[in-house]
Amino acid sequence: MTKGNLLIVDDETILVKRLKMDLEDLADHIFTAHDGVEALKILNEEKIHCVVCDINMPNMNGVEVLKNLRSHHNDIPFIFFTGHGSHELMLEAAKYGAFDFLDKPFFEGLEDVITRGLKLGFNPLDDSTATEDELMSEYQKLLKNLEK
Partner 1 sequence: MKLNATVLYLGQDKDFFFNLSTFCLDIKTKALQIPTCKRGELSLTCLNHPLRMIFIDYTNPEVDLDAIQEEVIFLKRIPRFQSILFIALFSKSEEKVLNQSIFISGFQFSFMKGCDESLLFKDCFGIVTGKDMHHSVFAKAENILKNYEVGICSSLTSISMNDFIIESDFKFADSLLPISLPIFPDLQRKYFSISRSCSSSLAYPMPNSYVLELPISSGWDSDSLDVIQADTISTWLDHNSEENFKKGHFINVLSKNMALLPELFSIHKDSLFNINFNENLSDDEMLSLLSLSKPKLIFIDLETEGNNNLEFVSKIITSIKTIDNFDPVIIIANSLSTGNALQKVLSYPLILVTKTFLDTPFILSLIRSFEVRKLKKEMTSQSHFFSGNDPRRSVEVKCEIRISSLTEHEIVFLSQTKLPPLAILHFHLPLDFNATIVSERPENAHSESFYYIAIIHGMTEDKLEILRKFVNKIISNPLKEFSQTHIQEVLNSLEVNFSVKTDVPLSIKKNSNLDQ
Residue 100 as a binder of partner 1 (CB under 8 A): the answer is: yes
Comparing CB distances to partner 1, the nearer of 15 and 90 is: 90
In whole angstroms, the minimum distance from the beta carbon of 18 to partner 1 comes to: 23
Residue at 90: amino acid letter:
M
Residue 97 as a binder of partner 1 (CB under 8 A): the answer is: yes
Total interface residues for partner 1 by CB under 8 A: 27
The residue within the footprint of partner 1, chosen from 93, 110, 114, 118 (CB under 8 A), is 93
Residue 87 as a binder of partner 1 (CB under 8 A): the answer is: yes
Which one of 19-27, 38-46, 56-64, 124-132 is the stretch in contact with partner 1 (CB under 8 A)?
124-132
Binding string to partner 1 for residues 64 to 83, with x set by CB under 8 A, is what? ------x-------------
Strands 78-82 and 5-9 come out as unpaired
Residue 94 as a binder of partner 1 (CB under 8 A): the answer is: yes
- Find out whether the peptide bond into 105 is cis, omega within 30 degrees of 0: yes
Which residues, other chains included, contact 125 with Cβ-Cβ below 8 Å and sequence gap of 6+?
Answer: none
Question: 52 in helix, strand or coil?
Answer: strand
Query: How far is the first Cα of the chain from the last one, in angstroms, to the nearest whole number?
Result: 40
Question: 10 in helix, strand or coil?
Answer: coil
Distances in whole angstroms, Cα of residue 26 to Cα of each of 21, 52, 73, 103, 136: 10, 13, 25, 20, 28
Binding site for partner 1 (CB under 8 A): 70, 87, 90-91, 93-101, 113, 127-128, 131, 135-136, 138-140, 142-143, 145-147
